[in-house]
Amino acid sequence: MLFDTHAHLNDEKFEEDREAVIARARENGVSYICNIGYNRETIETSLELAHNYDFIYTAIGWHPQDAKTLTDADLEWIEQLARDEEKVVGIGEIGLDYYWDTSPKDVQQEVFRKQIRLAKKLNLPIIIHDRDAHQDLLDILREEKAEEVGGIMHCFSGSPEMAEQCMAMNFYISLGGPVTFKNARKPKEVAERVPLDRLLIETDCPYLTPEPYRGKRNETGYVRFVAEQIAALKNISFEELAEITTKNAKKLFQI
């Protein structure tokens, strides 16, 4: 029983063998998947996946890298889908990305704020993308009172101290492939210190492939390597880790 809380199975890298990848996920014990739509095109294809597979759910939102393209009509469209579609379980991924910096920072921040307000209006959790923007991100979450809906710090890359601040605002800490990397001290420390009832696991496939397949295309079935690593760090069984993280995700997404 595993819950991959962040996948991009609608990505073009799965065009040739998407069905086989999803079948392999099931063989590897994945019971639930939250797939992410982050712009017009991927929201549509993510919904399609959620319609086709009963164990696939979707979050929808506008990625910070595309922030400058978001129109009022897009935002209304997202709101309508979130209201109409049962399989929409969250708003995201949304947040700030100062690494690629493809949209100006002030635009990213405004689009992020608008989507937090939308999630609060819909009473849906938010899925956060944060790259090199820790402080601004925390400030905005606090100012917008995001704790009213909470959500997921997706592929969390901050310190244990930052994780504390996020948990205090009602967020779960989700770890992916990097926790398996040999020299990745921070995510391992985070895995050790975050209490089990605040932890989630994910792949972010096709990106961030865990060991032993680092460097190759990632897929949802590999979430078990993430679970194995965290279970070892926490000194508990794989089964226990799988069960608790699945329970956490189901509670958050209300499924």
By the criterion CB under 5 A, which residues form the site for Ni ion?
Answer: 204
The smaller minimum CB distance to Ni ion, of residues 66 and 204, is found at 204
**Taking the complex as a whole, how short is the minimal distance between the CB of residue 62 and Ni ion, in angstroms?**
13
Query: Closest approach of Cβ 7 to Ni ion, in Å?
Result: 8
Instruction: Point out which residues pair with 129 in neighbouring strands.
Output: 95
9 or 166: CB nearest Ni ion: 9
Cα dist from 44 to 51, 85, 236, whole Å: 11, 12, 39
Closest CA to 210 of 243, 176, 247, 234: 176
In whole angstroms, what is the distance from residue 97 CA to residue 99 CA? 5
Asked if residues 59 and 90 have their Cβ atoms less than 8 Å apart, the reply is yes
Where do the DSSP E strands lie in the chain?
Answer: 2-7, 30-37, 56-60, 88-97, 126-131, 151-153, 171-175, 199-201
CB of 236 to Ni ion, least distance (A): 27
Q: Which is nearer to Ni ion, 129 or 234 (CB)?
A: 129
Tokens of 189: 């420390």
Nearer to Ni ion, 42 or 246 (CB): 42
Closer CB to Ni ion, 34 or 166, in the complex:
34
Rounded distance between C-alpha atoms, residue 66 and residue 33, angstroms: 24
Q: Which is nearer to Ni ion, 101 or 243 (CB)?
A: 101
Nearest-approach distance from CB 79 to Ni ion, in angstroms = 21
* Smallest separation, CB 235 to Ni ion (Å): 30
Q: Which two tokens stand for residue 75?
A: 């935002």
* CB of residue 63 to Ni ion, shortest distance in Å: 8
List the one residue out of 225, 247, 231, 219 whose CA is nearest residue 25.
Answer: 219
CA distance 41 to 36: 11
